[in-house]
Amino acid sequence: MQSIEININDPANKLSMSDRWLRLRKRIVDSKELYLYLAPFAILFFVFTVLPVIISIYLSFTYYNMLEAPKWVGWQNYIRLFLADDVFLIALKNTFIFAIITGPVSYMASLLIAWMINEFKPKIRAFFTLLFYAPSISGNAYLVWQYFFHNDPYGYANAILMDLGIIHEPILWLIDPRYILWIVIIVVLWMSLGTSFLVFIAGLQNVDNSLYEAGAIDGIKNRWQELWYITLPCMRPQLMFGAIMAITQSFAASQQSIALAGFPSVDYAARTIVTHLVDYGSVRFEMGYAAAIATLLFFGMIIIQRIVQGMLNKVGE
Amino acid sequence: MKLKFSIRKKRISRSAGGDFANFVFILISAAFMALPLVLITCNALKPLSELFIFPPRFYVRYPTLDNFRDLIILMSESWVPFSRYLANSLSVVILGTGGHVIIASLGAFVVSKYDFPGKKFFSAMVLLSLMFAPQVTRIPTYMIMAKIGWVNTLTSLIIPAWQYSLGFYLMSKFMGQIPDAILEAATIDGASKWRIFWSIVMPYVKPAWLTLIILSFQMLWADTGSFYIYSEAIKPLPNALFQIAAGGIARTGINAVVMFLMMLVPVTLFLFNQSKIVETMGTSGID
């Protein structure tokens, strides 16, 4: 067989810049119809998702109160966030406690419960899927937790504890800074079996059954080994997607905190970065400062997503 | 798919003790999930005397529809008629969801099945957008709305719903598994792209429509619109319901009914479409 040699340094074989542009242009013109199909979504996506991020980054370097034109202030907003804003540091700490607990716990719970449910007969499985998924789509149903953690003896938690004689006066669940954050965490966990849970259920159903038989022959002894060596590696794509959903959720939860713990919460005990953002953006109208908080949160979330994806690539190795 | 499970044998790697432990674990977590939902239902049916009983009782003893009646009476007295709120909500949910399914499917179709300059970049942007929550960019979004002049219109709720990127992502993943051979055969037979999209691809991805519909529906249904809308006459239903429920202790019964209704609609919708939705989610993975 004769090998063909192309001398890339030969000017005749080198694509000139203008040639490349012409080719690209031709490909673009050829795909005219395709762009037309994508255009409605792409334009709206740009206007309502991409553009806000760009504006946010720009505003974060300005002083802007919505009345006067934005004034460029450089890194001043960021410096103020870390050096002069004590409440932001509380918010940062709370957000991390919150995300480190709710993110992994809801992710693991979604996976574990989906995996256990998968063993049941289809009818029972469908019932449990509905039950576990329902809280996440029930809108403001989480407000019902107020009845459990009412601050007076009418609340179920207080009533039960007092009945058992563990406490003698009602605990102020949503006022005492020692409890607020934890209650918000419980409520968020309750409604966190959302999209990622469904994705795991679906992923488990798609694992090829013959793999399990082969695994049994190869000496897999119990269900945990089977999970780690067969099921999880097969589901890696779903695990990735589920992780993205779980992380986004755990960093963004704010409505539950605002609705249950009040805004601002006592001693800022349930302050998260997002509620801090709401405070500066929708109450104080310091838009530049709010944009700096948003920008930090944006990059923080993306960096954490990347780290977690790196970790998930090691599953089953 | 269904057959696969009905004939599944007991696997060697399962011990009876483990099965039992699993079952207990599932029951306990199911109870944790179910209790608040049961409480919502019970509370909606409790007469006033049971709502304020001391010590508090969980289950309802003498169920009544009094609370529902009270809500209807209150609603009929409000100066913006109930039907108006309902119409506002329905138009947001129907137009928002409908537009989203069509526009996202159109885009997902070309992204998943054809190649063109900029496609990789666009897909990467969509994936990136899943990684942060929309709350982060609410303020600039409001500014854009204000510039376009959509603040205080229902459009401000409908149009942004069309570009919900999770729906686009799920749809393009699901379309990705349509065999290319089918599309090629259709192209050879002279079908236009539109024809392929409309008569071949869209019927094929019906399970994915339902998924997009429920995701978008539950999001829009729960949206009070309070961020963009301040005129009473165009507020969606949840907003009106929460305003009524905000009446404090005297409205406890009505409040319970409101929670119950807000929960009932999306859960029922999911109940009837569960298998289709799970099928779509199976293709959602990131490779």
Whichever domain contains B120, its CATH number is 1.10.3720.10
User: Under an 8 A CB cutoff, do A134 and B143 touch?
Assistant: no
A11-20, A296-305, B146-155: lowest mean pLDDT where?
A: A11-20
Mean pLDDT for all residues in chain B: 85
| Extents of the domains making up chain A | 1-60, 85-312
User: Under an 8 A CB cutoff, do A41 and B36 touch?
Assistant: no
Q: Does position A13 have pLDDT exceeding 50, yes or no?
A: yes
What separation in angstroms does the CA of B263 have from each of A30, A129, A182, B266, B270? 49, 16, 24, 6, 11
Residues in B touching A199 (Cβ below 8 Å): 281-282, 284-285
Together in a domain, B165 and B199: yes
Together in a domain, B33 and B117: no
Query: Which site among A49, A197, A239, A272 would you substitute to test the B interface, given the most B Cβ atoms closer than 10 Å to its Cβ?
Result: A49
User: Under an 8 A CB cutoff, do B126 and A139 touch?
Assistant: no
pLDDT at site B102: 94
Average pLDDT over residues B23-51: 88
Q: Does position A8 have pLDDT exceeding 80, yes or no?
A: no
Average pLDDT over residues A180-203: 87
Question: Is residue B244 assigned to a domain?
Answer: yes
Residues in A touching B111 (Cβ below 8 Å): 38
ipTM above 0.90, yes or no: no
User: Under an 8 A CB cutoff, do B107 and A24 touch?
Assistant: no
Query: Which site among A137, A183, A190, A221 would you substitute to test the B interface, given the most B Cβ atoms closer than 10 Å to its Cβ?
Result: A137
User: Under an 8 A CB cutoff, do B129 and A45 touch?
Assistant: yes
Name the residue facing A241 among B18, B144, B284 (closest C-beta): B284
User: Under an 8 A CB cutoff, do A202 and B131 touch?
Assistant: no
A40-49, A210-219, B89-98, B178-187: lowest mean pLDDT where?
A: A210-219
Other C-beta atoms closer than 10 Å to the C-beta of B243 total: 16
Counting every residue written for chain A, the total comes to 317
Residue of B nearest to A273 (CA): B136
User: Under an 8 A CB cutoff, do B30 and A128 touch?
Assistant: yes
* Last residue within a domain, chosen from B39, B64, B89: B64
CATH 3.30.420.40 fits A85-312, yes or no: no
Residues in B touching A47 (Cβ below 8 Å): 144, 163
pLDDT at site B4: 45
Q: Does position A71 have pLDDT exceeding 70, yes or no?
A: yes
Residue entry with tokens 């804003």 = A85
Together in a domain, B131 and B177: yes
Helix (H, G, I), strand (E, B) or coil at B153: coil
B232-280 pLDDT per residue, tens: 888 888 888 778 777 777 788 888 888 888 888 888 888 888 888 888 8
pLDDT at site A158: 83
User: Under an 8 A CB cutoff, do A55 and B282 touch?
Assistant: no
Confidence of residue B75 (pLDDT cuts 50, 70, 90): confident
User: Under an 8 A CB cutoff, do B262 and A28 touch?
Assistant: no
Other C-beta atoms closer than 10 Å to the C-beta of A281 total: 20
Q: Which domain holds residue B36?
A: 17-64
Question: Is residue B98 assigned to a domain?
Answer: yes
User: Under an 8 A CB cutoff, do A50 and B125 touch?
Assistant: yes
Work out how many domains chain B is built from and give that number. 2
Q: b/e for A144-159, b at 16 or more Cβ within 10 A? A: bbbbbbbeebbbbbbb
DSSP per residue, A58-87: HHTTEE--SSSPPEE-TTHHHHHHHHT-HH
Residue of A nearest to B43 (CA): A144
Q: Does position A191 have pLDDT exceeding 90, yes or no?
A: no
Residue of A nearest to B132 (CA): A248
Distance from the Cα of A109 to chain B's closest Cα (Å) equals 10
Greater pLDDT, A169 or B161 = B161
Counting every residue written for chain B, the total comes to 287
Question: Is residue B69 assigned to a domain?
Answer: no
Q: Quick check: A271 and A264 in contact, CB under 8 A?
A: yes
Per the structure block, which two tokens stand in for B13? 């790697």
Residues in A touching B109 (Cβ below 8 Å): 37
Together in a domain, B191 and B249: yes
Helices (H) and strands (E) in chain B, counts: 15, 0
Average pLDDT over residues B94-113: 94
User: Under an 8 A CB cutoff, do A202 and B280 touch?
Assistant: yes
Rounded CA separation A221/B232 (Å)? 64
Kindly state the percentage of chain A with pLDDT values over 90.
14
User: Under an 8 A CB cutoff, do A237 and B37 touch?
Assistant: no
pLDDT at site B1: 41
Query: Which site among A23, A34, A51, A121 would you substitute to test the B interface, given the most B Cβ atoms closer than 10 Å to its Cβ?
Result: A34
Together in a domain, B53 and B78: no
Average pLDDT over residues A257-284: 82
Average pLDDT over residues B100-111: 94
pLDDT at site A7: 58
A130 in contact with B, Cβ within 8 Å = yes
Sign of CA dihedral A279, B262, A186, A309: negative
Together in a domain, B216 and B240: yes
| Residue B262, amino acid | M
A45 in contact with B, Cβ within 8 Å = yes
B205-218 pLDDT per residue, tens: 888 888 888 889 88
What separation in angstroms does the CA of A285 have from each of A66, A273, B58, B125? 7, 16, 44, 30
Establish, for the pair of chains A and B, how many residue pairs have beta carbons separated by less than 8 Å.
Answer: 282
Taking phi first (over 0 means left), then psi (-120 to 50 degrees means alpha), and beta for anything else, what does residue A70 get?
A: beta
Question: Is residue B82 assigned to a domain?
Answer: yes
Name the residue facing B143 among A55, A248, A301 (closest C-beta): A55
* Last residue within a domain, chosen from B64, B84, B100: B64
Together in a domain, B55 and B92: no
Name the residue facing A221 among B1, B13, B275 (closest C-beta): B13
Mean pLDDT for all residues in chain A: 84
From the CA atom positions of chain A, what is the Rg in Å? 26
Q: b/e for B123-136, b at 16 or more Cβ within 10 A? A: eeebebbbbbbbbb
User: Under an 8 A CB cutoff, do B193 and A33 touch?
Assistant: yes
Name the residue facing B106 among A40, A212, A223 (closest C-beta): A40
pLDDT at site A12: 56
Kindly state the percentage of chain B with pLDDT values over 90.
21
Together in a domain, B31 and B106: no
Q: Which residues contact A59 (CB under 8 A, 6 or more apart)?
A: A70, A287, A288, A291, B140
Q: For A71, phi and psi rounded to 5 degrees?
A: -115, 130
Q: Does position B188 have pLDDT exceeding 80, yes or no?
A: yes
Confidence of residue A68 (pLDDT cuts 50, 70, 90): confident
User: Under an 8 A CB cutoff, do B107 and A241 touch?
Assistant: no
Q: Does position A49 have pLDDT exceeding 60, yes or no?
A: yes
A203-258 pLDDT per residue, tens: 888 788 888 888 888 888 788 888 888 888 888 888 888 888 888 888 877 778 88
> Within 13 A of A209's CA, how many CA atoms are on the CB side?
14
